[in-house]
């Protein structure tokens, strides 16, 4: 079954807006696990506008499910990941000034660099996922870099879903089939929500994991965190 990893960045954003420790990011991570999430995702950025490097160090020993750290593998990030040793690291090519991740890796042009990073993390016992656009060539490139999984960047799927679910998911199905042929695990994330999640999973049932943050926190404002996580788990399980 597809696993739900909750990205808690937005909880840290709220905390940072006021200062202090409200809401408590560590408590939120533990509550997400208690409410049924099968993983916790964090995405520390150099400007520390949400999850901070110090948060990652504090959260790591508390997590009892899967811990996934996303980010651009700059030297400071690589040092943090090797120190923390999460279950999974997801390599994302985000620039410092972007609001949110907005593209996947070109795994062909960056093969030498990504291969070295994959080897470094895998030698440290960390599963490596590479964030890619829904392009079979980029998926194949990730396999050639030595990745264990790819994470499909689902913004385009989410933005096109209302105009036609089948057309929106078609490029993702092709990329997912390429991942299967290459022996790669498959993750997905970005703008997945209660409207579009079930269709994606029904179409690509071998998806290993979805990472969702912004939509979960938005829904939790009205439904509460426990009910929201239950609702997302129910969507994943729909046939």
pLDDT (mean) for 196-210? 98
70 among known catalytic residues:
yes
Q: Domain total for the chain?
A: 1
43 among known catalytic residues:
yes
* 41 C-beta neighbours (distance < 10 Å), count: 28
Which secondary-structure segment (H or E) carries 89? strand 88-91
Question: pTM of the predicted model, to two decimals?
Answer: 0.95
190 among known catalytic residues:
yes
* Catalytic member of 43, 50, 209, 235: 43
For residues 84 and 69, the answer to whether their CB atoms sit within 8 Å is: yes
pLDDT in tens, 92-137: 997 666 555 668 999 999 999 999 999 999 999 999 999 999 999 9
CB-count burial class (<10 Å; 0-12, 13-18, 19+) for 137: middle
Find the domain containing 91 and state its range: 3-237
Classify 73 as helix, strand or coil.
coil
Q: What secondary structure does DSSP assign to 186-220, as a single string?
A: EEEESS--TTTHHHHHHHSTT--EEEE-HHHHHHH
* Catalytic member of 33, 50, 66, 70: 70
pLDDT in tens, 131-165: 999 999 999 999 999 999 999 999 999 999 999 99
What CATH number is attached to the domain comprising 151?
3.20.20.70
């Amino acid at each position: 079954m597809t696993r739900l990893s909750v990205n808690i960045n937005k909880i840290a954003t709220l905390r940072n807006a006021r200062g202090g420790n409200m809401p408590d990011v560590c408590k939120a991570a533990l509550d997400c696990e208690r409410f049924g999430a099968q993983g916790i995702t964090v995405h520390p950025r150099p400007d520390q506008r949400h999850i901070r490097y110090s948060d990652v160090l504090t959260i790591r020993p508390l997590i009892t499910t899967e811990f996934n750290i996303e980010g651009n593998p700059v030297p400071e990030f690589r040092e943090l990941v090797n120190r923390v040793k999460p279950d999974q690291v997801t390599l994302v090519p985000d620039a410092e000034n972007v609001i949110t991740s907005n593209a996947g890796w070109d795994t062909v042009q960056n093969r030498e660099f990504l291969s070295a990073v994959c080897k470094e993390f895998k030698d440290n016992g960390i599963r490596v996922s590479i964030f890619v656009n829904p392009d079979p060539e980029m998926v194949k490139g990730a396999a050639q870099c030595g990745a264990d999984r790819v994470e499909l960047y689902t913004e385009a799927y989410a933005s096109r879903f209302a105009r036609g679910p089948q057309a929106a998911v078609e490029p993702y199905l092709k990329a997912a089939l390429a991942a299967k042929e290459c022996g790669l695990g498959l993750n997905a994330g970005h703008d997945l929500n209660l409207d579009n999640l079930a269709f994606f999973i029904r179409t690509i049932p071998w998806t290993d994991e979805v990472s969702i943050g912004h939509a979960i926190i938005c829904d939790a404002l009205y439904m509460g965190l426990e009910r929201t996580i239950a609702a997302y788990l129910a969507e994943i399980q729909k046939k």
